[in-house]
Structure 1
């Protein structure tokens, strides 16, 4: 343990914000495999990696290994390539309230800098974000690293991992994990949580009690203490990101949000109830932020608008697009998109303003299941929207859910037929995840729903059967390319595109990758990637990235 002494000469930081810690596929594989290879979580993960010479690789890791082998570091793809929206928003929020902060974008890549800050500066607290974590392992490793260097700093853990744990487990489980597994000092259970964090920091600075700080829980004398819960309603209009605070990172990819929560009440989704009242930022304020972003980060290539419903309300969406066109921005952008609201005018504006692709939460190709989901859409609307997007040259990714209450062999066949004939560029389906916070749970008697998470049953299906169907869809869809979720997903398509690989080449690479996953599903003992498939992937990447520019 290094000696951390308070000194007037040491720079003081109220809060150090930690971004993502990127675990390797082999580490995640070991953690999930421990829970059983027949579990829904493992079977879902199993569709996202191949094994080459005894090592497990995601599609991203396979791509990066080819670049590393040829010493091409500037084209490496990582989640940290995209600047974390939680860092930009939280940092701005803290700064506006006279709370000093610093941040680490990528914990694994910036460990030396993190060590320097923890040993050479007086850090009051650390905010550990958990947006992309599916296991506790990265949180454990980060906390252990911090404690080995500085045992005085207070560690706050919040974000989706904590919120999900609180929604899906009882107090005994939460208490055990908080005290013996994660070992943080304070936990924030809120879809926002910024106000709770500021209040915690002020209480610690002033040595004040924390028992009245909302949305916080902690362990005291071996007991779980849960403060009062109350949804935060931090107004986006009053907390637009100040990009002058983040001007030294040379960011090429950035996540931006222009709305909070969602105006829809899909039966499978608990987000609107957890996130609070739906609110949007006026188009003029969004444009002002984009101008500031470009001013301080002129290298921007692509922006991901992470609003759940970026094209709703339609009038606001079109107004924003017209202002983007008028501003003549150089960057491209992509977003989530409600396909049933597609029309020719908005799609023309999207294309002209720089839209390169959209993530479509289609969920099912069956009108029956869409009705059960309360999606407020019909298959014919999806067909029309995809056709318009395809005509405009906007790349499409369709996300689907398999096994939702009411699902049966017939509705799955409808979805398979829809995907095959949809014209989508990419797709993926996942087994329905049963959460008790979602609206469908209030209809559990109607559908005879039992269980939770990845283990459930209802009157027409169970989770094991749903996993079988997911694998069947993966193996049999021919006309649309499956994108793995683990460590790739829709976001990495654009990183590869901006590295010089075309959409058609990405499809080819993904299909070769998926070919070996299909092989291990059909014959689990035959899991080693075929040498000819790897060589073809390497050839595609080499021809686009590794070859000298003058050849």
Structure 2
């Protein structure tokens, strides 16, 4: 019998270049789905990332179900694929409502509707649970959806922006997120995602989180109660018989003393209940305190995604981090002393970086062995809504092409360096992905994993330093230059050696 749903929620496929990390289930779609179901609507979730679905497979599935509405949760990197899917749906006769939601559509609504208003009916801005459910209700009844708050749409060549709902005050009142794609995601990540809060109380210039939660009325950081979080953990333990959790909060710590007290209360409650879980969190460096993190470790904390962002104070100031390199180092040392795993948030390149700042950063990276190959290539990503984008626009460095936004580096020697280092380090990418694959499959011993991680990172750093030195001597260094060819050949040889050795090591183990 043919499936029938009122609405389909879609996370579209993303380009392969973005798979530096493993994808978890989308709790954003999960919350929207569970809220809509609570209102009596039937919802289908298509997560093209965890289900490994192609554009054509998503299109076929939507057409087969033919819902009243399709809602896409869109990251900037997936926008082009989203538009391709929408256009194919229209070409194949789909007449239902198509809406987009998320940070990128919220801040790009006018441009999206201006360019693709014939395919996209509306944008759901900011928090989506209430407006998306109301959209379904309207489409089921009278089709008079144009008065729903948080919607932006196009009528008679005019962009209409409706009033914005206040932020949801009490997150405990939301139903737990739907986890329709839990098992597909779990095969890859081996952890259960939980959202304990929304928003961030800081104001980093490179981030859209603050802007996303700052426009609607309400507190831009809201946390669920400790009791509510503990109840979900116990529920998930029973349902899935697993004890490893990842908190996906933009900042696990709330603001001020109350934010710290909430975290302490959470850790103590975990210990009192003897839940025996392990978990990871994300936080700022100035959240890290030895006593608090000792307590968190005793309650099960194993890993911390730490917002370090850079190893130079000038760049940290440009990012409005309100933290220094000394703060970064203090936080790293505390976490290392507690033997907690560190996953570093790091942005090496911004449009204004110079060679001296690159040198300071590479020394920082060498000093603390918590970075991997992508850190040497990671640029500041430009997103609509971020404060730093306005600065770049005013500087004249912005590059805007169809569906692509990038920037030049102000220092011409950095422009050349970045082009060449991408070519050099591409020699290590096959080894990097093979290493991650073997590590995730547990086909490497701890000793082998540590060895290959060090070899890969140290080899890449050596190439980085050699090329930086040559650029210092000749900022117009070219691919045809003898000096560059020698460095690139060294990278190629080392990359091939690592790849072959990894292959051989995995064959021996098997």
TM-score by length of 1: 0.69
| Kept in 2: contact 1:339–1:360 (CA 8 A) | yes
1:184 corresponds, among 120, 130, 133, to 120
| Kept in 1: contact 2:456–2:498 (CA 8 A) | no
Q: How many Å separate the matches in 2 of 1:294 and 1:432?
A: 38
| Structure 1 segments unaligned to the other structure (5+ residues) | 1-8, 26-44, 46-57, 61-77, 478-482
Distance 1:322 1:311, change over 3 A: same
Query: What are the within-5 Å matches in structure 2 for residues 318-357 of structure 1?
Result: 318-329=264-275, 331-357=277-303
Query: What are the within-5 Å matches in structure 2 for residues 315-394 of structure 1?
Result: 315-329=261-275, 331-394=277-340
Structure with greater proportional helix content: 2
In structure 1, what is the equivalent of residue 500 of structure 2? 535
In structure 2, what is the equivalent of residue 6 of structure 1? none
| Kept in 1: contact 2:58–2:85 (CA 8 A) | no
Q: How many Å separate the matches in 2 of 1:513 and 1:416?
A: 13
| Kept in 2: contact 1:11–1:121 (CA 8 A) | yes
Deviates more, 1:285-294 or 1:303-312: 303-312
Deviates more, 1:268-277 or 1:327-336: 327-336
**In the alignment, does 2:28 pair up with 1:86?**
yes
Q: How many Å separate the matches in 2 of 1:241 and 1:495?
A: 34
In structure 2, what is the equivalent of residue 431 of structure 1? 379
Q: Deviations over 1:75-116 (max 9, x none)?
A: xxx53xx22112221112212222221222336646799688
- Number of aligned pairs? 462
Specify the SS of the correspondent of 2:146: coil
1:272 corresponds, among 192, 210, 217, to 210
In structure 2, what is the equivalent of residue 239 of structure 1? 174
Query: What are the within-5 Å matches in structure 2 for residues 156-175 of structure 1?
Result: 156-166=99-109, 171=111, 174-175=113-114
**In the alignment, does 2:239 pair up with 1:296?**
yes
Distance 1:510 1:214, change over 3 A: farther
Q: Deviations over 1:361-395 (max 9, x none)?
A: 21222334333433222222221211121122222
Q: How many Å separate the matches in 1 of 2:185 and 2:364?
A: 42
1:204 corresponds, among 110, 129, 139, to 139
| Kept in 1: contact 2:32–2:128 (CA 8 A) | no
Q: Deviation of residue 130 (structure 1)? A: 1.7
Q: Deviation of residue 265 (structure 1)? A: 1.3
**In the alignment, does 2:72 pair up with 1:124?**
no
In structure 1, what is the equivalent of residue 474 of structure 2? none
Deviates more, 1:419-428 or 1:230-239: 419-428
Distance 1:504 1:476, change over 3 A: farther
**In the alignment, does 2:40 pair up with 1:98?**
yes
1:230 corresponds, among 137, 150, 164, to 164
Specify the SS of the correspondent of 1:310: coil
Q: How many Å separate the matches in 2 of 1:113 and 1:372?
A: 43
Q: How many Å separate the matches in 1 of 2:248 and 2:309?
A: 18
Q: How many Å separate the matches in 2 of 1:206 and 1:525?
A: 64
Q: Deviations over 1:277-317 (max 9, x none)?
A: 2111121111111111222222x464321111113422212
Distance 1:158 1:514, change over 3 A: farther
Distance 1:99 1:361, change over 3 A: same
In structure 2, what is the equivalent of residue 263 of structure 1? 201
Deviates more, 1:508-517 or 1:289-298: 508-517
1:306 corresponds, among 234, 238, 248, to 248
Q: Deviation of residue 153 (structure 1)? A: 3.1
Which gives a bigger RCO, structure 1 or 2 (Cα 8 Å, sep 6+)?
Answer: 1
In structure 2, what is the equivalent of residue 285 of structure 1? 228
In structure 2, what is the equivalent of residue 15 of structure 1? 7
Q: How many Å separate the matches in 2 of 1:140 and 1:513?
A: 40
| Kept in 1: contact 2:106–2:123 (CA 8 A) | no
